[in-house]
Chain A
């Protein structure tokens, strides 16, 4: 879904936006925003290559001047537009794919007459159906040589419509003939100069159709290299080369339509989704399923890639914050760990953990990264990878050391099968003041034990490295599965939860100190309180209880009835965030362990289940005037939701809910959802379609604004310029005032902030209304928790006594 005008700009649709990228500098130059829904297609205006048509699900076609980022015209069509095509011969009309009225899942290709008018917003309702029953994807329709015919593929049918003769030829492949293979069409392209159609198939074949003017005498030849579905095809400008790509992540170049001459560009990283050629044929661009664009030279040399946040199939590692860079760390490419900077909204680097060649093939048991932990200062990184086999997982625990010189992590120790079963949790002992020697790693496994790993110094001075890790202690409790582990802030206590019970261990002698439980229900999450609340241990159970135990008295302090999914302590304050999931909505509670009454409640922050959360420390504490958000002063909270189950159901409604930008901001303000969390949410929903980036468009313009004088100087022809001596002072001045420039920028930023705030204020009313409801809820909840906790305590005591007497009798 990209277009190259010349070879300097790369345009691509990304969520609700169209982005303009410079090919040479890899920078985002422009962000064309204005669509209210997903952008489904972008095409250059064939009459004017500086203009761009874009279509969207919101039923509009917009015409842009992408060089300056100006919206020229908006054509309202009135129904969902799923794909867009333009044709040089059809001057005043474009072709779009729309859903057929009255029938579900059938689509038709229509030509839209773009009305010529003076205004910006125009209605264009003149639709004429060209083809019926076409595929919804852009890849299923192609226009032939000089626009004389249009080809559409769907399932096993190929339709060719000749505009001049108004003739429709249908061809279909027999489904019987294939031997277990699936020969449905997956994509189609037309030769730019000859009457030839190339189609890609689900079984990996590429068919070249010729002589399709005749209904009977058509011929086709097949090219077969791909072992799985051909995702996209593209012809070079002259038509001598055909490019194809698929899940193998290999770009194949076929010469002269013969199957013996082909070149490969292997290991592009992830399956290829789209291929497009630049208009001068010099560059080729591939879009991958993991949200990445690769730019490839015409001689099949990899040139560069544009990388967003890599979307992996499943974020198993959770959201982890790298203490060194404050970057968010999560699964990236298969077997890689990506470090994603939230501030600059880009990937810092990708660390290869598995170090194996990834083979893109269905049905293979790939090993992937499942757990990540950082030591307090980020010097050590522990990763766990396991193969996807359920019964006998192939586990590896790896410990990485951060090298200051190379600024990267290097593998220090690899431990094969650290546990006999899946590892459920892993944590480092954070002890800042004692230095590196005291670092301890604890892993909890489903094989009913937790293991303590310590650093051992190598006695041999000639050895390659002088420290390695080895197992120090193995603890178990009644052969229950260990589910969570957590160190207290000072590192003296280790809490490990074993199904229903939380055990507390002394980290010096590895003696069991005491146990807590809150039957029935397994412990889902545990964490220690911090700072002033370090004497409390918080646990959440399956049966929907949040419990707080006092470690000094070894008694239950309070408990609340809350189905907590995520429990996340803030590393810089004593607040703990708990996200509950009840009746299809997630709610956020922020509390201090010392008080059973929450500090902050936000009901219904989103409809999806929130899977993960992370506090990211701010660089400097932010001044927050409102007392409600004081807990957000030192760090920001990020969520990762999972909407895989709710995908079809809630996507659109949520999209609509979010569409007006002001509303979106309201959401932003009323709860700590940042652009990033929204972004992540969207990523999960939209599945492999778009690159989404909510980066603010302010940044790239700075330079240009900063030096208008220089620009002027450079752009004026030499013969009209005054003498150099006169210009010199102006030029130097323009260079010297960078400070002032900055301040003006800042002012600009502030202005923008203010405008945002103003918008927020307008929404504040709604929010306050909501909040009033919330507060009433809160009071109710507070009472409930108090009552519950008392009754609960009584019950607990009973149970405790019961249990104890029974045991002593035993």
Chain B
């Protein structure tokens, strides 16, 4: 004897974005805070030490913001012209920045006036950074050169002029205090060792390099330029590992999250894409109002700060973890009540009575089991089911139709219920997965309640709504058919070529024109 089989609710795979762990994680940010800066934000850098302040370079100012403050807690504005690339040292106490006039300034985070000034570049300096030994600074300028400076003496240690175009980005290795890389508009990324007189490695990116990044391990290098983000294996001598083309405009900035598992890229196409560093697939993406120039992620991924071309700074904070302490407060029976007798092994003389497994049925299933079709339909027309899981409602309607009792279940309802039913039908009938069932339902409702049309204003309104919805859908479908027709003509021209080559192929036998339709 078979047990009652519950109604099968057709689960439709959700189209579009699939919910993964990543989407859940990256969605866990509050609504962004917008801060207006004076000019395009070209660099954002987080202090590596708590409380994780961040320095924002825009126009001729460097603002330092606190974690939750929307006003800058400190401003460095001693620049005659635009400032570039304000970067923290590893201990978070020094800040270096380049400027339009070619000088590099070194600030104490607590002070105001620059501690040191490095003069040597003849053109604007867009790249400044600390080497990981904390005592040296590297820089890159529009005079095609990249220099290395000693902080203590404020003198130039070495100058490399190997690039043939502006040097716009760079990065220091965290594992080796002598190694840093620079990316230039001459389409190359060069790796320098402070101990040698020339570059150790040159990587051809193929587009003007806008941003480079080294993985914490130092083994992998990421370069962004043009629409491409490329990952290179440094240890293998600069072999291309993967080339990502997920943006449709120039990628301007790169960033790793705190765990190093995800790579973020911001682009002029207003998107930030997040890649998994294991599979190099896009796992999530944000979009913003305008083109993105700079991007930074605070330690522990608490804050995402994005700087735009129009001078807006977009700050997103992570939502605090929801605490479920309330539910835990409820006193629950002791653990041993649950395990009582569970471990008892029956002896040989014991007579075992197995407890039948109780099957839990939904309310509508219980009613369907006892053939109460009208009540079963009532059960699925309750607002929570109807609003949140319309597929259940439709599945029950389909089951009733299959049993041939849908008409009697729909009949004999009062104004309120008919109103409810019609609202549901009018709203859902255009969804392709529900259409076949709901069209029959709508047919039956109109059949059954035709004699009483005009007696209730509410029901009449619902009928009109249904008519509108269906009319609109028909218009859409017609338009779509037109588009399909156009596409078919395109396909036909496409397949014509194929036919000719096929006719060349044929040796003998009957060959006729084929229509092939590629579908995916």
Q: Which residues of A approach B to under 8 Å, CB–CB?
A: 265-269, 294, 302, 305, 352, 355-357, 359, 361, 363-367, 387, 394, 416, 449, 459-460, 462, 471-478, 510-512, 514-517, 553-555, 800, 803-804, 807
Question: Is B3 on the interface with A (CB-CB < 8 A)?
Answer: yes
A473, B518: Cβ atoms closer than 8 Å: yes
Question: Is B506 on the interface with A (CB-CB < 8 A)?
Answer: yes
A269, B509: Cβ atoms closer than 8 Å: no
B519, A473: Cβ atoms closer than 8 Å: yes
* Contact residues of B between 478 and 520, Cβ < 8 Å to A: 502, 506-520
Nearest Cβ on chain B to A556's Cβ, whole angstroms: 9
Find B1's partner among A269, A367, A475 (CB 8 Å cutoff).
A269
CA A416 to CA B8, docked complex, whole Å: 13
Question: Is B388 on the interface with A (CB-CB < 8 A)?
Answer: no
Nearest Cβ on chain B to A472's Cβ, whole angstroms: 8
A554, B507: Cβ atoms closer than 8 Å: yes
CA A267 to CA B502, docked complex, whole Å: 59
A-B CB contact pairs (8 Å), 30 listed: A266-B4, A267-B2, A267-B3, A269-B2, A294-B1, A352-B5, A356-B7, A356-B399, A357-B5, A357-B7, A359-B402, A359-B403, A361-B403, A364-B402, A364-B404, A366-B402, A387-B402, A462-B21, A471-B519, A471-B520, A474-B518, A476-B517, A511-B502, A514-B506, A515-B509, A517-B510, A553-B508, A554-B509, A555-B508, A803-B510
Find A460's partner among B5, B7, B18, B403 (CB 8 Å cutoff).
B18
A268, B1: Cβ atoms closer than 8 Å: yes
Write out the residue numbers on chain B whose beta carbons fall within 8 Å of the beta carbon of A471. Answer: 519-520
Find B514's partner among A472, A512, A555 (CB 8 Å cutoff).
A512
B5, A516: Cβ atoms closer than 8 Å: no
CA A554 to CA B502, docked complex, whole Å: 15
Write out the residue numbers on chain A whose beta carbons fall within 8 Å of the beta carbon of B515. Answer: 476-478
Chain B residue with minimal CB distance to A801? B510
CA A474 to CA B404, docked complex, whole Å: 35
Nearest Cβ on chain B to A400's Cβ, whole angstroms: 15
CA A10 to CA B85, docked complex, whole Å: 94
CA A367 to CA B18, docked complex, whole Å: 32
Find A475's partner among B18, B369, B516 (CB 8 Å cutoff).
B516
Chain A residue with minimal CB distance to B21? A462
B8, A355: Cβ atoms closer than 8 Å: yes
Nearest Cβ on chain B to A136's Cβ, whole angstroms: 31
Find A356's partner among B8, B18, B21, B404 (CB 8 Å cutoff).
B8
CA A394 to CA B437, docked complex, whole Å: 11
Nearest Cβ on chain B to A252's Cβ, whole angstroms: 14
Write out the residue numbers on chain B whose beta carbons fall within 8 Å of the beta carbon of A555. Answer: 508-509
Nearest Cβ on chain B to A233's Cβ, whole angstroms: 20
Question: Is B20 on the interface with A (CB-CB < 8 A)?
Answer: yes
Chain A residue with minimal CB distance to B514? A512
A361, B8: Cβ atoms closer than 8 Å: no
Write out the residue numbers on chain B whose beta carbons fall within 8 Å of the beta carbon of A473. Answer: 518-519
Nearest Cβ on chain A to B477's Cβ, whole angstroms: 16
Write out the residue numbers on chain A whose beta carbons fall within 8 Å of the beta carbon of B2. Answer: 267, 269
B403, A267: Cβ atoms closer than 8 Å: no
Beyond the given A359-B402, A471-B520, A472-B520, please list 17 additional residue pairs across the A-B interface where CB-CB is below 8 A. A267-B1, A269-B2, A355-B5, A356-B5, A357-B4, A359-B403, A365-B402, A416-B10, A459-B281, A475-B517, A514-B509, A515-B512, A553-B508, A554-B508, A554-B509, A804-B511, A807-B513
Write out the residue numbers on chain B whose beta carbons fall within 8 Å of the beta carbon of A416. Answer: 10
Write out the residue numbers on chain A whose beta carbons fall within 8 Å of the beta carbon of B21. Answer: 462
Nearest Cβ on chain A to B19's Cβ, whole angstroms: 10
Flag B1-34 by CB within 8 Å of A: 1 or 0 each.
Answer: 1111101101000000010110000000000000
Find A265's partner among B1, B7, B402, B517 (CB 8 Å cutoff).
B1
CA A356 to CA B518, docked complex, whole Å: 35
CA A450 to CA B201, docked complex, whole Å: 56
* Interface-central residue, B10, B369, B502, B515, by most chain A CB under 10 Å: B515
Nearest Cβ on chain B to A525's Cβ, whole angstroms: 20
Write out the residue numbers on chain A whose beta carbons fall within 8 Å of the beta carbon of B507. Answer: 554
Write out the residue numbers on chain A whose beta carbons fall within 8 Å of the beta carbon of B436. Answer: 394
B509, A800: Cβ atoms closer than 8 Å: yes
CA A476 to CA B87, docked complex, whole Å: 63
A460, B20: Cβ atoms closer than 8 Å: yes
Write out the residue numbers on chain B whose beta carbons fall within 8 Å of the beta carbon of A367. Answer: 402
A807, B519: Cβ atoms closer than 8 Å: no
Nearest Cβ on chain A to B361's Cβ, whole angstroms: 12
Write out the residue numbers on chain A whose beta carbons fall within 8 Å of the beta carbon of B404. Answer: 361, 363-364
Write out the residue numbers on chain B whose beta carbons fall within 8 Å of the beta carbon of A511. Answer: 502
Find A302's partner among B1, B10, B403 (CB 8 Å cutoff).
B1
A516, B4: Cβ atoms closer than 8 Å: no
Chain B residue with minimal CB distance to A810? B513
Flag B365-409 by CB within 8 Å of A: 1 or 0 each.
Answer: 000110000000000000000000000000000010011100000
Chain B residue with minimal CB distance to A515? B510
Chain A residue with minimal CB distance to B499? A512
Chain A residue with minimal CB distance to B8? A355
Write out the residue numbers on chain A whose beta carbons fall within 8 Å of the beta carbon of B517. Answer: 449, 474-476
Nearest Cβ on chain A to B204's Cβ, whole angstroms: 31
Nearest Cβ on chain A to B500's Cβ, whole angstroms: 13
* Contact residues of B between 59 and 76, Cβ < 8 Å to A: none
Write out the residue numbers on chain B whose beta carbons fall within 8 Å of the beta carbon of A516. Answer: 509-510
Chain B residue with minimal CB distance to A414? B10
Top 6 A-B pairs, shortest CB-CB distance: A554-B509, A302-B1, A474-B519, A357-B5, A512-B514, A514-B509
Nearest Cβ on chain A to B22's Cβ, whole angstroms: 10
* Contact residues of B between 335 and 351, Cβ < 8 Å to A: none
Nearest Cβ on chain A to B79's Cβ, whole angstroms: 48
Q: A357-B5, A416-B10 are in contact. Are A804 and B510 (CB under 8 A)?
A: yes
Write out the residue numbers on chain B whose beta carbons fall within 8 Å of the beta carbon of A359. Answer: 402-403
Write out the residue numbers on chain A whose beta carbons fall within 8 Å of the beta carbon of B20. Answer: 460, 462
* Interface-central residue, A364, A514, A517, by most chain B CB under 10 Å: A514
* Interface-central residue, A265, A352, A471, A473, by most chain B CB under 10 Å: A473
Write out the residue numbers on chain A whose beta carbons fall within 8 Å of the beta carbon of B513. Answer: 807
* Contact residues of B between 224 and 273, Cβ < 8 Å to A: none
Q: A517-B510, A804-B510 are in contact. Are A512 and B516 (CB under 8 A)?
A: yes
Write out the residue numbers on chain B whose beta carbons fall within 8 Å of the beta carbon of A462. Answer: 20-21
Write out the residue numbers on chain B whose beta carbons fall within 8 Å of the beta carbon of A366. Answer: 402
Chain B residue with minimal CB distance to A392? B436
A477, B514: Cβ atoms closer than 8 Å: yes
CA A255 to CA B419, docked complex, whole Å: 45
CA A752 to CA B502, docked complex, whole Å: 64
CA A355 to CA B281, docked complex, whole Å: 38
CA A98 to CA B331, docked complex, whole Å: 79
Nearest Cβ on chain A to B391's Cβ, whole angstroms: 12
* Contact residues of B between 395 and 450, Cβ < 8 Å to A: 399, 402-404, 436
Q: A294-B1, A460-B18 are in contact. Are A800 and B8 (CB under 8 A)?
A: no
Write out the residue numbers on chain B whose beta carbons fall within 8 Å of the beta carbon of A514. Answer: 506, 509-511
Chain A residue with minimal CB distance to B401? A365
* Interface-central residue, B3, B21, B402, B515, by most chain A CB under 10 Å: B402
Write out the residue numbers on chain A whose beta carbons fall within 8 Å of the beta carbon of B402. Answer: 356, 359, 364-367, 387
B1, A512: Cβ atoms closer than 8 Å: no
CA A800 to CA B512, docked complex, whole Å: 11
A515, B508: Cβ atoms closer than 8 Å: no
A267, B4: Cβ atoms closer than 8 Å: yes
Chain A residue with minimal CB distance to B498? A511
CA A267 to CA B511, docked complex, whole Å: 57
CA A41 to CA B4, docked complex, whole Å: 35
Write out the residue numbers on chain A whose beta carbons fall within 8 Å of the beta carbon of B369. Answer: 357
CA A228 to CA B512, docked complex, whole Å: 57
Write out the residue numbers on chain A whose beta carbons fall within 8 Å of the beta carbon of B518. Answer: 473-474
Nearest Cβ on chain A to B419's Cβ, whole angstroms: 30
CA A516 to CA B5, docked complex, whole Å: 48
CA A511 to CA B520, docked complex, whole Å: 16
A364, B510: Cβ atoms closer than 8 Å: no
Nearest Cβ on chain A to B366's Cβ, whole angstroms: 13
Write out the residue numbers on chain A whose beta carbons fall within 8 Å of the beta carbon of B18. Answer: 460
Chain B residue with minimal CB distance to A514? B509
